[in-house]
Structure 1
Amino acid sequence: MVKNVILSVIFLVALILILLKERKYCLRKCRANNHQHGASHKHGEWISIDFYSYASQIRGWNPVFKVSFAVALVILCIVLDNPYVSLIVIIAMAYLTIVRGGLAAREYLSVLMIPAAFIIISIFTIVIDISKEPAGHFNLHMGFFYIFTFKAKLEQGLLLMLKVFAAVSALQMMTLSTPSSEIIYVLRRSHIPKLIVELMNMIYRFIFILLDVSAKMKNSALSRHGYCDLKTSWHTFGRIAGNMLVISLKKANAYYDAMEARCYDGELVFFEEYKKIDKKLVISSVGFLIFLSIFPWITI
C-alpha cells in the first residue's frame, strides 16, 4: 500500500512539473501575441478533438507510426501489469501531447476528464461492496447497510486505475495528434472491413455535429434565462432534448444529400497525405518499448 501511495505522489509531482513548464511556455507565447496584435479568446464554444489534432505540433509524424506506437503501448500496459510501467507511460504521453505537441495542459486534462469519470466509477464498483453487517478493513454505516472495502481491494483498484489511465493516455496521444481521416487511413491499410470503418467515421463526425448544435441551443437558452432556477432548467433541458431528435434527423438527411451531390457511391474517399517515417522516431520508440518491457525485471 505504501508503494502505491509513493507512486501516486510521483505521478502528481510529475504532472505539476509538466503544468508549470507548460504555463511558462503559454505565458511567453501570450506575451508575444499581445505584443504583436493583442490577445483574443472565445468562450462558450465547443472545440472538437479534430481541432487539437490539426493544431498539434506532432501532426507531421507518420500516422501509421503513431497508431502502431499507441497500440503497442496499450498492449504493454495490459500484458506487463506493472504500476511503474503504467506511471512511465502516463508521464511520457503527457510529455508528448503537452510539451512536444503544444497542447495546453488545461485542455489536455479537460479531455481526460471524460474517460476519467467512467474509470473512477468503474473502480468504485470493484473496490466497494455492500453488506448488512460491518465487514472489511474500512466500513461506513449508511443506516440499513454498510459500505465496506479491504486493503487488498484498494490496492487492486489503484493498480487497475493506473493501468487503464496509461492505456487511455496512449490512445489520447494518438487522437490528439492524428486527425480522424488519417486514423481511418491506417485502419483501411490494416484491412479492417470497409463497412466498419465508414460507420466509425460517420458516427464520429455526427457526434461532434450534434454537440455543436447542442452547445448553440444551450447558449441560446442561457441568453433567455432558460436556466434561472431548477424548474426552468429541467424544462429547458427537456425542450433541448426534444429538439435534438428533430434536428438530428434533419442534419442526417441534409448531409446524405450533400454526399450524393458529390457522387457518393457507397464508399467514402479521403485525401491521403503521404508523410515520411522519421527513422529517429522509430528508433526512439523501439528503444522506449524495449525499456518498458525490461523495466519490471529491473525493479524486482
Structure 2
Amino acid sequence: MKEKKKRFKHEHGSSFSVDYYAYASHMRSWNAGFKVLFSIISLLICIACNNLFVSLAVIFFMGFLTVAVGGLDLHHYITMLLVPIVFLIFGTIAIAIGFSMRPVGQYHVHFLNLFYIYWSKASLLKAGGLVFKALGAVSALYMMTLTTPLSEIIAVLRKAHIPKLIIELMNMIYRYIFIMIDTHSRMKNSAESRLGYCDFKTSCYSFGQVASNLLVVSLKRGNNYYNALEARCYDGDLRFLEEEKPLKAGQIVMAVIFIVVLLLIWFFTR
C-alpha cells in the first residue's frame, strides 16, 4: 500500500525556516529548473498584463500548487502572505488617498477641521490593482522558494551563468539571516523559561538584553560556520550534490495550459 502523504508543519517554539518547507514539500521531486522558470514566467506575465483577473489567477493557482500539491499547511502559507500584504497596504495608501486644504476629489472627509482627506473610485481601483499585482508576483516567488531548496536554486542560477560572486553572496546572506533568526529564537526561549516576559517592565528589560546580545552571538555562530566550511576544504566555491530530477511531460502541459489561460484572461478582460 502506498503511504499516505501528510502535511508538514513546524513544531511550536521552533524557529522559522524556508528550507524546512522546501525540503519537506511534496513538489521537491519536481525539476528545479522547471519550477524556477515557471515561477519567473508567471511573475513577468502578472506584472506585464497589469490586470486584476490575471493577478487573482496567479495568486490562487500558485497558492494551490504550494498548499494542495506541495503539502504546506494553509495556516502557515496565509501567515507568510500577511507580511507582504501589510507592507503593500501601507505602501499603497498614498495612491488611494490624498490630502488637501480644501474639499476636492470624488469623496472627501474634513479631518479635525484642519485638512481634507480625499479619494476616488479610480484611485481605490488603482491601489487595489497594484496590491493584487504585487501579491501575485510574491505568490509566484513563494511557490518557487517554498518548494525548492536553496541549493537547487543556486544550481539553476549557476547553469544560467549568473556571476559567481552574486551567487556566493546570495547564499551567505541567506544563511546568515537564518543564523540570526535561530539565535534570537534560542535566546527568547531561554528568557521565557526564566520568566523574562512575566510583566511589562521585565519584558522590556529582556527585550533589551536579547537585542544587545543578538548581533554578538550571531557573529560568533557565523564565525563557527565559516570555520566548519574551512575544515571541509572550502576554497571560495560552494558545491552542492545535485540530484537528477527529470522533467515530466505532465508538468510541461500544466505550465503551458496555465500560461495560455492567463493570456486568454488578459485578452478578454483588458
Task: Name the TM-score, length of structure 1 as normaliser.
Answer: 0.82
**Separation (CA, whole Å) in 2 of partners of 1:239 and 1:297:** 57
Summarize the Cα distance change of 1:152–1:236 in structure 2 as closer, same or farther, 3 Å threshold.
Answer: same
**Inter-partner Cα distance in structure 1 for 2:260 and 2:47:** 15
Aligned to 2:211: 241
| Post-superposition CA distance 1:136-159 (Å, at most 9, x none) | 314351464443322211110001
* Alignment partner of 1:132 is 2:105: no
Does residue 1:76 correspond to 2:33, yes or no?
A: no
Match of 2:21 in 1: 52
Partner SS state of residue 79, structure 1: helix
Structure 2 matches for 1:90-109, cutoff 5 A?
90-109=59-78
The CA deviation at 1:235 is 2.0
What secondary structure sits across from 2:118 in the alignment? strand
Tell me the secondary structure at the aligned position of residue 139 of structure 1: strand
Query: Identity of counterpart residues, as a percentage?
Result: 48
**In structure 2, what is the equivalent of residue 120 of structure 1?**
89
Residues 57 and 131 (structure 1), Cα distance of their counterparts in 2 relative to 1, 3 Å cut: same
Shift of 1:124: 1.7
Taking the aligned partners of 2:245 and 2:158, their CA distance within structure 1 comes to 16
The equivalent residue for 2:55 is 86
Deviation at 1:169, TM superposition (A): 0.6
| Aligned match of 2:173 | 203
Matched residue type, 2:60: I
| Structure-2 change in CA distance of 1:55 and 1:41 (3 Å) | closer
Structure 1 residues not aligned, in runs of 5+: 1-25, 31-39
Q: How far is the alpha carbon of 1:129 from its aligned partner? A: 2.4
CA contact (8 A) 1:139 1:149 kept: no
2:147 corresponds to 1:174: no
Q: CA deviation at 1:225?
A: 2.4
DSSP-derived class of the 1:86 partner: helix
More displaced stretch, 88-97 vs 228-237: 228-237
Residue 233 of structure 1 and its aligned partner are, at CA, apart by 2.2
Query: Are the counterparts in 2 of residues 58 and 177 from structure 1 also a CA contact under 8 Å?
Result: yes
* Contact kept in structure 1, 2:62 and 2:143, CA below 8 Å: yes
Q: Is the 8 A contact 2:66 2:147 kept in 1?
A: yes
Q: 2:11 aligns with which of 38, 42, 45?
A: 42
Unaligned runs of 5+ residues in structure 2 are none
Please give the secondary structure, in 2, of the residue aligned with 1:166. Answer: helix
Partners of 1:217 and 1:134 lie apart in 2 by: 53
Aligned CA distance change for structure 1 residues 140 and 100 (closer, same or farther; 3 Å): farther
**Larger displacement relative to structure 2 (228-237 or 250-259):** 228-237
CA gap of 1:205–1:142, structure 2 versus 1, over 3 A, is farther
Q: Does 2:76 correspond to 1:111?
A: no
Q: Return the alpha-carbon distance in structure 1 between the equivalents of residues 147 and 110 of structure 2.
A: 44
Shift of 1:192: 0.8
Counterpart CA distance in 2 for 1:299 and 1:204 is 40
Contact 2:100 2:117 in 1 (8 A): yes
Amino acid at match of 2:40: V
Tell me, in whole angstroms, the C-alpha distance in 2 between the residues paired with 1:134 and 1:257.
65
Q: What SS class does the counterpart of residue 147 from structure 1 fall into?
A: strand
RMSD: 2.1
Paired residues, what number? Answer: 265
Q: Is 1:227 the equivalent of 2:197?
A: yes
* Whole-Å separation in 2 of the counterparts to 1:158 and 1:251: 43
Question: Residue 281 of structure 1 aligns with which residue?
Answer: 251
Among 174, 183, 192, the residue aligned to 1:213 = 183
Instruction: Determine if the alignment matches structure 1 residue 66 to structure 2 residue 35.
Output: yes
Listed one character per residue, the Cα deviations across residues 92-114 of structure 1 (whole Å, up to 9, x for unaligned) are: 11111111111110011112122
- Residue aligning to 1:190: 160
> Could you say what secondary structure the match of 1:58 adopts?
helix
Mean CA deviation greater in 78-87 or 227-236: 227-236
State the alpha-carbon separation in 1 of the partners of residues 27 and 210 from structure 2: 38
